[in-house]
Structure 1
Amino acid sequence: MMQILVAGQAVVDFIFEVDTLPTEPEKYRARGARIVGGGCAANAAVAISRLDGRAHLAARLAEDPVGQLIIAELQRERVGTYLTTKIQGASSSYSSVYIDRAGERQIMNFRGDGLPDEPDWSLPAIDAALADTRWAEGAIAAMKAARDADVPGVMDAEAPVVREALEIASHVAFSRQGLDEFLPDGTVEERLELAASLLGGWVCVTDGAQGVTWRQGDEGGHVPAFEVDVVDTLGAGDVWHGAFTLALAEGRGELAAMRFANAAAAIKCTRPGGRAGSPTRDETDSFLQENLHAIDAR
């Protein structure tokens, strides 16, 4: 079983299903609601666990009711939480999430308060590391750990990007928002070419239904997304990063890893409830086998 260090954000999401996303300062009524764990790193860790990897989550939580909810759910998902710091007198992070009938989402996040910046880890042997940008010091430490172990280090590069961590990472996966902040001018292809030159590694940008565009040195390309009936996109990007990192740890090349990640994220989009819709390994392998021909034909 691959051992994956995942560093970054763990939260609770209070999810409200609405007809359209709120735009006015008035009272709205939800069609449905649920409480689920969230956060980029925590979602990716759950995805890795369901895909038969072993995720070790390094995050910052408070010793408060929200923190207890977060830890309990992660442990039910078989995510290792012994690297997660729990601080007395602090406040854990949580979010309110609105999801409309098209499956698009709007998120209001409280980052937490009184949480330490510097990581304090005793790390296991790892096969890869993944970090988000919500905890800069943790991201830098995770990428250094991957570099020192000579294993893949993947940065989930959303805004605000952490330049030092990006420079250490072997693989940088920008969101469109993250790429727009890092390099605002030019086409996606031009900016990825420049990013690969500046960072010296493999880079890509994930863009939902538009698929993934990648670049390494003089080579580049595009991997289409799978076409599915979208119910809920919440957490799909996090599932993608978890699946991609796990596939690299297993020794797959980047093209195969992107296709595997696209399949896992596509399945998640067909299911409600944020990371509750993360697929299993058998589901992802079956989906990939059944639908890869459609991608190859496009």
Structure 2
Amino acid sequence: MTDILLAGQAVLDFIFDLDDLPTRAEKYRAKQGQIIGGGCAANAAVAVARLGGTAHLAARVGADQIGGLIVGGLRADGVNTDNVALVPGGRSSYSAINIDAAGERQIVNLRGEGLGEPLDWTHPTPRAVLADTRWHAGALHALTLARALGIPGVLDGEAPISQDLAEAASHVAFSVQGICDFTGETDKIAALKEADRRLPGWVAVTDGADGVYFLDHGVVRHIPSFTVEVVDTLGAGDVWHGAFTLALAEEMNVEDAILFASATAALKCTKLGGRAGTPDRATVIAFLKENT
């Protein structure tokens, strides 16, 4: 199987399914609830594992009850957690997430504290690296390794994004908010062109239902998203990045990698429960055969 190194955030999500997102200071009753692991890199790692890759996650959690649940959930999903540090005295990160009937989400996150910078990782030589922006030192360490090995180093471009992280990546796939924050532009296409001017690697912007935009020899290309019945968008972007990185590691061209990632993310959106809805490889391949 293809080894992928992922570095970044691992949290625990408390998910509540509601008809409408809360707007007032009063009690609300959820239709359903779930406790499941989350976090950009952790969700991407689960996607890699579901799609047939070997995911090695480097992350930091506290040696507390939440941290134990995070690591246990990752292991149950087939992720290698040898480089997930359970830090004594640290406090793990967790989130309260409300999801409405249209699948849109509202997130309140408590960031981890006292987690240090554990960078002494051990892993087989990866075929690609994916980093998020939630752990700067870990992301830079991982992307620098990718560059030294001559393999794809993908950055999940969520704001705030530092110039050194973006420059260290061979591929930066921004969110719309991320690329506008990074460039100072308000239009995503203008922001894409500015990011391409400022960075040495490949750049793209993902925009949910509007698909993915990227530059091909200076020409803006657009790959539309797949139309599905959306139930839950939570983690879809993370899943997209995991699938995209695995596809690059498997030497798919960029366009095929985007289609593969977009199909995986679209299928995730048809299931409730954050990353629990991530599809397996056979389901994605069957979906692509029917929809391309």
What's the TM-score once normalised by structure 1's chain length? 0.96
Question: Is there any run of 5+ residues in structure 1 with no aligned partner, and where?
Answer: 293-298
Cα deviation digits, residues 189-236 of structure 1 (max 9, x gap): 222112112111111111110000012542330000000000000011
CA distance in 2, matches of 1:135, 1:248: 23
The reply to whether residue 204 of structure 1 matches residue 188 of structure 2 is no
Letter of the 1:82 counterpart: D
Question: Is there any run of 5+ residues in structure 2 with no aligned partner, and where?
Answer: none
Q: Aligned with 2:142: secondary structure?
A: helix
Name 1:283's counterpart in structure 2. Answer: 283
Contact persistence 2:180–2:186 (CA under 8 A): no
Cα deviation digits, residues 224-280 of structure 1 (max 9, x gap): 000000000001111100000000000001000000000000000000000000000
CA distance in 2, matches of 1:40, 1:278: 14
CA distance in 2, matches of 1:37, 1:133: 18
Letter of the 1:260 counterpart: F
Q: Which moved more, 1:223-232 or 1:193-202?
A: 193-202
The reply to whether residue 43 of structure 1 matches residue 47 of structure 2 is no
Letter of the 1:32 counterpart: Q
Contact persistence 1:196–1:217 (CA under 8 A): no
The reply to whether residue 58 of structure 1 matches residue 83 of structure 2 is no
Name 1:19's counterpart in structure 2. Answer: 19
- Where does 1:164-243 land on structure 2 (aligned, <5 Å)? 164-243=164-243
Contact persistence 2:14–2:35 (CA under 8 A): yes
Q: Which moved more, 1:186-195 or 1:244-253?
A: 186-195
Contact persistence 1:197–1:217 (CA under 8 A): no
Q: Aligned with 2:9: secondary structure?
A: coil
Name 1:246's counterpart in structure 2. Answer: 246
Contact persistence 2:82–2:122 (CA under 8 A): no
The reply to whether residue 140 of structure 1 matches residue 146 of structure 2 is no
Cα deviation digits, residues 162-212 of structure 1 (max 9, x gap): 321110100000011101211232532222112112111111111110000
| Paired residue total | 292
CA distance in 2, matches of 1:256, 1:82: 31
Q: Which moved more, 1:151-160 or 1:207-216?
A: 207-216
Letter of the 1:40 counterpart: C
Contact persistence 1:234–1:274 (CA under 8 A): yes
What stretches of structure 1 move > 3 A for 4+ residues in a row? none
CA distance in 2, matches of 1:36, 1:229: 22
Q: Post-superposition shift, 1:122?
A: 2.9
Q: Aligned with 2:156: secondary structure?
A: strand
CA distance in 1, matches of 2:127, 2:220: 26
CA distance in 1, matches of 2:126, 2:68: 26
Contact persistence 1:203–1:216 (CA under 8 A): no
Q: Which moved more, 1:208-217 or 1:226-235?
A: 208-217
Letter of the 2:12 counterpart: V
